[in-house]
Structure 1
Amino acid sequence: MRYLRKIFSLKKKLLFFLFLTTYVASAQTVRKYSNEFMNIGVDAAAFGMSNAVVASTNDVNSGYWNPAGLVGLEDRQLSLMHASYFANIANYDYAAFAMPLDKQSVVALSVIRFGVDDILNTTQLIDEQGNIDYNRISLFSTADYGVTFSYARELPLDGLNVGVNAKVIRRIIGDFASSWGFGLDAGIQFNSGNWKFGVMARDITTTFNAWSIDEEQFATISNAVEGQNQELPETTEITIPKLQVGIAKEFEFHFDYILLAEADLNFRFAQTNDIISTEFASIDPALGLQFKYIDMIFVRAGMGNFQNIQQLDGSDSVGFQPNIGVGFKYKGIQIDYALTDIGDQSAALYSNVFSVKLDWSIFR
């Protein structure tokens, strides 16, 4: 019995630690990595190119990558994606819909969910008399939701497009805590011949998250760590802006073969482990290639997440994440696949990402 109590005591401490690391990260400061689930990315086609699509994106998924690219739509489009994270512990889901309003403007709506479900809550496993009661075990989920409303419009200058996003962030940690957040993005694209240029500014107003916490529920976790009196953390979180700049070019061979090459620079205004890092900003480059045959068959490859990694012997090395992908399109239905370590350049196992895009032209 004493051995079992030690095990469940460790489980309580682990649950308390997971809660604090998730919630205290939302303390009243400007965070380097706040709302990071919104930076993972969407669409297997983009993952296959290591997310180097800011300048070339021109479909329903542009609502995420660069809303200015939405003006490339000729008809309504729907996109769906599912991926697993952390060895299938977490689920990452995405859905988006876009429709032209007229010949110059487009609107879109996208939803992202990143969550871990059916987490065991063993904080009440042992009753006041010290008896273990398995009926006191409950389940809870922790999930992050991002809802984005996008608007894009062509400007009078030929080839110049602009777009804006309004984001609503909802984060839930069981019955313990939850938050609401709001932010804005803005993007620009300029196309000239086979050249494409793009700029995407994320969280330009510093996305604001306000947390609320159930003090009674928090007490059940904090009391799990015996001998410690845990205080409630602060409840305001601010996400710093990010900037993405991209340039792309299409190379056409014998009309049926087209190669798209893009290079992006991702700026984060904080000092990180990115390959270029200063106190003012850090820069992470990304390179992507897409080979297209008669707008039906796609083969993709890319490199991104260039990071300075410290080895066990104290020396530094540069790590990066290679991605590959393929796609098939037929009469308005496009299916894409990417082999990628989602959002992480570590030694973790690579993930399989599938996405589907439906163009309303199929119904014509």
Structure 2
Amino acid sequence: MTLRNSLLATLLLFIALPAYSQGFEQAKYGGDFLSVGGGARPLGMGSAYTSVTNDVLSGYWNPAGLSGIEDWQFAYMHSERFAGVVGYDYGAVAIPISGSDGVAAVSFFRQGVDGIKNTLHAWDPEQNRPRSDPESYMREFSTADMAFFLSYANRFSSEWHWGVSAKVLNSRLGPFADAWGYSIDAGVQMRGERYQFGVNVMNLTTLMKFWSVDHSELEALESFINPETGEPETLPEGTNEYVRPSIKIGGSRIFKFGDYLLTTAFDTDILFEGRRTYYINLGDVSFQPHLGAELGYKDVVFVRAGITDVHIDDENDVFVSPTLGSGLKIGAFSVDYGFSSFAGIASDLGFTHRISLQLTL
């Protein structure tokens, strides 16, 4: 079977599977941890990156952007959010396929909170008080969301490119519960000399997520009495969830001034989940705009700025998160830095700092 036929068969399989989604519950934020994306350069540009991306980061931002990569590329990023409580790691590799115009890529994401205390066994239900030495009964666990992307891209012509990303997600709540999910993203990109355009349909096949609960780890809860009902606590059950498709669409313009190159970009994320907070809403459709710019000097030094996380509160006041970034490219190696705050609430939740490294061989 040829590579094209294999991809077609896989796509048809993923499209057919959501037909079994009867009985699934909609999860509005089921895949939201992936909204962080990958790389510090996109953050510095306000995440206005759908039409700009053209390197190993494209597996997430728009798989069509992988098309045209001629050498192996590697990327790694570490980020901390919410004053360092949440850690986020991202890594990716892109590999040109010999003898064709195709490019394959693998991306990995992990967002988690580590060192959480499990206090279930530190309580003495018979005495209705903590045990005499509660620390000895406590264990630490982690909660994490992870994702694995397998991407492929090629070109329709010298200007038009396409790409797909098959992705598998895993969410783990310590030893208590975990979930597996799957979906496909598909994107196109037009690259002109001055203008660029991109569309990435995320969860094209609908993200399906299956939860399971290990009741043996929650047996201690059965001895607790709910004060509102007077009955023992009911152990949670595993559920099945689905996340609707969303669309990233954007355009960019390139200006050349001698040794300087200025790129301006505008993106909009379109969601169909009926979100009522944080975004601009029209009925069940939500819009999240992004605006960014990058100024490069001799393709070596870069400064970036942008606006993201547009927030409209109940009084129709508008808040935005400004972003800043910089980059340095020396030969095959580049390092990028990105910074942002949270719209209107930075003093409570801290700031986001990202540093990413990239290597081309």
TM over 0.5: yes
The amino acid across from 2:139 in the alignment is S
The CA distance in 1 between the partners of 2:266 and 2:321, in whole Å, is: 15
TM alignment of 1:274-293, pairs within 5 A: 274-293=278-297
Structure-1 residue corresponding to 2:101? 104
**Per-residue displacement from partner, 1:151-193 (whole Å, max 9, x unpaired)?**
00011x3311000000010111111101111110000001122
Partner secondary structure for residue 38 of structure 1: helix
Comparing 72-81 with 28-37, which one deviates more in the overlay? 28-37
Q: How is 1:142-181 mapped onto 2 (pairs within 5 angstroms)?
A: 142-155=143-156, 157-181=157-181
Quote the Cα distance in structure 1 between the aligned partners of 2:126 and 2:220: 16
The range that moved more, 269-278 or 282-291, is 269-278
User: Is 2:268 the counterpart of 1:269?
Assistant: no
Contact 2:153 2:161 in 1 (8 A): yes
Distance, in Å, in 2 between the alignment partners of 1:55 and 1:223 is: 55
1:219 deviates by: 3.4
User: Partner residue of 2:7?
Assistant: none
Q: Distance in 1 between matches of 2:178 and 2:33?
A: 16
Structure 2 CA distance for aligned equivalents of residues 149 and 346 of structure 1? 36
Query: Residue in 2 aligned with 1:119?
Result: 116
Task: Name structure 2 gaps, 5 residues minimum.
Answer: 1-22
Please report the TM-score for the alignment, with normalisation by the length of structure 1: 0.86
Alignment partner of 1:124: what SS? helix
Alpha-carbon separation, structure 2, partners of 1:218 and 1:150: 38
Structure 2 partner of 1:242: 246
- 1:230 is displaced (CA, Å) by 2.0
The answer to whether 1:346 aligns with 2:345 is yes
8 A contact 1:248–1:260 mirrored in 2? yes
Which SS does the other structure have where 2:313 is aligned?
strand
Instruction: Give the deviation of 1:275 after TM superposition.
Output: 4.9
What one-letter code is carried by the residue in structure 1 that aligns with 2:345?
S
Counterpart in the other structure of 1:76: 72
Write out per-residue CA displacement over residues 334-358 of structure 1, whole angstroms, 9 at most, x where no aligned residue: 000111137x663332121100001
Cα distance in 2, alignment partners of residues 329 and 222 from structure 1:
58
Change (3 A) 1:51 1:279: same
Alignment pair present for 1:87 and 2:90: no
Q: How many residues align?
A: 327
- The 5-angstrom pairing of residues 325-340 of structure 1 reads 325-340=325-340
C-alpha distance 341-219 of structure 1, shift in aligned 2 (>3 A):
farther
Report deviation, 1:225: 5.6
- Contact preservation (8 Å) 2:309, 2:320: yes
Match of 1:298 in 2: 302
2:144 is matched by which residue type in structure 1?
A: A
Alpha-carbon distance in 1 for matches of 2:169, 2:279: 30
- Using the aligned pairs only, state the percent identity: 34
